[in-house]
Amino acid sequence: MGPVRRGVILATLLPTAALAEVCDKERPDWHLDHGPATGLDELLFLATSLPGLGVLGALTLAMMTGQRLYWGLTAFFATLIAVALWAEQTSDPSGVRALAIAEGCVGPQTLPITACVVTAVFSAIMLLRARPQTRPQA
């Protein structure tokens, strides 16, 4: 086998944008030059998505006001996102996620799931510690 043929075979085995063609749909801003995605990339992707911004907004309101409602919303939605990320990671019937991981545009979900669980536990503890709002007597 000649060196050119070995090089062609090796090039077809390496992950590229044209190999799986899922990254242009899953993560359109990712390029092969960026290298493989990491857990920190996934956390940043989650934090800038609509669900992540919703949890961050609820957490900000909860910390600023101390109201039980916002602590409860933060705990609920952070738990919901953690469960959704875990379910997406463990079941991939279409195989798209596995192709995106192989291509390098999707990284491990461990850090985003952990961040959501920590946020949910912190919010639940603060919910239990927060005093209920009392209405002023008229």
Residue spans of alpha helices (H) in the chain: 3-13, 17-20, 23-26, 39-47, 50-65, 68-90, 96-103, 110-129
Looking at residue 3, what is its pLDDT? 55
> Span 104-125, mean pLDDT?
93
Looking at residue 92, what is its pLDDT? 76
What's the first-to-final CA gap in the chain, in angstroms?
Answer: 92
Q: To the nearest whole percent, how much of the chain has pLDDT over 90?
A: 45
**Span 43-94, pLDDT tens digits:** 999 999 999 999 999 999 999 998 999 999 999 999 999 999 999 888 877 7
Residue scoring higher pLDDT (106 or 92): 106
d(CA 32, CA 137): 64
Q: How confident is the model at residue 5 (pLDDT cuts 50, 70, 90)?
A: low
Q: For residue 42, is pLDDT > 80?
A: yes
